[in-house]
Structure 1
C-alpha cells in the first residue's frame, strides 16, 4: 500500500493479529492507549473482525522494508467521507530496538500523505494523554496543531483521563510538503 525509505505499510491481515496481541500485552506499548488492561489474542481477533466490516475504520501494519518483518501498527477511525476527515487513533513501533530511529515519524508522514493525496481527506486528527511528551513532540514536529483539551475523554484501566486534541488540515500539510502537493495535480 505505502512504501517509504525504511518502511512498508499495508492493510492489516488476519495473520497480523498474533503480533498485535503479543505487542499489546506489553505495558511499554499500551501505556498511552485508551484501553482497560492488556489485550489478548481473542480480543484482538474480535476487534479485527469488527474493523474489517466497518468502513469508518482501518488497521495498517508497519513493516521493516528490508526484513519485511512487522514492527508496528496504525489504527485509523472515524473515516468520514462526507466531511473528508479521519482520526489517527493508534500508532506504535512495538519493537524497542526499532524505536528512536524516526520510524514512527516516517509512518505518520506516510499515513498523512495517503490521507491527503489518495483518500482525499481534508483533516486528520489525533489525541493523546497529557503526560505523553514524546507523542506531543512528534505530532507537533509533523505539523499537527493543538485544538484543545478533551476533558475525561479517554478511559484507561477504569479511570477517565483528559486528552489533548490535535489536527492537521490538508493545506497545512501541503505548506510543509509542497513537492507532494504538486504531485497531486
Structure 2
C-alpha cells in the first residue's frame, strides 16, 4: 500500500466493485469519463473493471485514511504502440462526487504523478480531458500539465459537440516544478 497525507492507495479488490460501479453510474461522473453513450453500467461492466485493474501499468483505489471509505481510483496505462518503449503513460482518475471541491483530485493527481515519474520511471504522462470539464482542466494546468492539442468536436454530449483536450507533462518539467516548489527529495 502507498500513502499520501489523507489517502491510502491500494490494489482493487472484489469488495470495491460496488463502490466503483456506483461512481461509474453517476451521470455527471460518466459524462466526464467517457465518450460512450450515457447509460447505466450493467453487471457486464464489472468484468471490464476487473480487466482494467489487471491490464494497466498502475491501477489503485483511493481510500480515505480517516473513514476507510473508497473515494475514487487512479491509473496509469500504456496508451498504444511504442508507449512502453517511450515510457509514455496515460493518466486516468475518478473521484466520487461527494469528494469534489475538497482538494482530493489535487492530492490524488500529485501522488499519481510522483509515483509515475519517481517509482515507475516514466518519461511523460498524458491526460485527455473533455472541454466540458473546466475544473479538471484547471487542476491539470495548475499541476503543470501543458495543453498539447485537441481533437476538435470529438464528443457529442448534451446536444452539442465538444473538444477533447490533450495534455501532457515530461519528466524534466515535473522535476523542475518540484525543485521550484522546494519539494526535491
TM-score (norm 1): 0.84
Query: Shift in Å at residue 62 of structure 1?
Result: 0.9
Query: Shift in Å at residue 93 of structure 1?
Result: 1.8
Query: Shift in Å at residue 104 of structure 1?
Result: 0.5
Show the 5 A alignment for 1:10-89: 10-34=10-34, 35-54=36-55, 56-78=56-78, 80-89=83-92
Give, in whole Å, the separation in 2 of the partners of 1:83 and 1:57.
Answer: 14
Give, in whole Å, the separation in 1 of the partners of 2:156 and 2:89.
Answer: 21
Query: Shift in Å at residue 75 of structure 1?
Result: 3.4
Q: Which runs of 5 or more residues in structure 2 are unaligned?
A: none
Give the superposed CA RMSD. 2.4
Give, in whole Å, the separation in 1 of the partners of 2:157 and 2:11.
Answer: 27
Change (3 A) 1:155 1:26: same
Looking at both structures, which has the greater relative contact order when contacts are Cα pairs under 8 Å and sequence separation is at least 6?
1
1:41-75 Cα distance to aligned partner (Å, 9 max, x none): 52332212322442x45432111111121011223
Give, in whole Å, the separation in 1 of the partners of 2:156 and 2:20.
Answer: 20
Give, in whole Å, the separation in 2 of the partners of 1:168 and 1:61.
Answer: 23
Change (3 A) 1:8 1:28: same
Higher mean alpha-carbon deviation, 8-17 vs 112-121, is at 8-17
1:103 aligns with 2:116: no
Show the 5 A alignment for 1:123-138: 123-138=124-139
Question: 1:92 pairs with 87, 91, 94, which one?
Answer: 94
Total equivalences in the alignment: 179
TM-score (norm 2): 0.84
